[in-house]
Structure 1
Amino acid sequence: AILHKYANEDVSLGAWLIGLDIEQIDERNMCCGTPPGKNHKNFYE
């Protein structure tokens, strides 16, 4: 039962990371392909 519980948590974490990757790709497309980090740095300078 313990191993089964950890397996379920790994699946949930993997799905969550995939969701983050999709969000990052969308942000790059909205920012003309530049990484969000560089955009924020230029914005605050």
Structure 2
Amino acid sequence: GEKYHLGDCFECGSCTWICPSNIPLVQQFRIAKQILREKAVA
């Protein structure tokens, strides 16, 4: 997460809107952030 600055994303949705492949990026970022939070607690 830190390598790609995932924490800098505030989930505005701009990347998903502009993505030519229609990849649900915000959804994937939310999942990744949750995984990182769970790892931090463990």
The alignment's TM-score, normalised by the length of structure 1, stands at 0.44
- Structure having the larger proportion of residues in helix: 1
The higher relative CO (CA closer than 8 Å, separation ≥ 6) is in: 2
Largest Rg, 1 or 2: 1
The alignment's TM-score, normalised by the length of structure 2, stands at 0.46
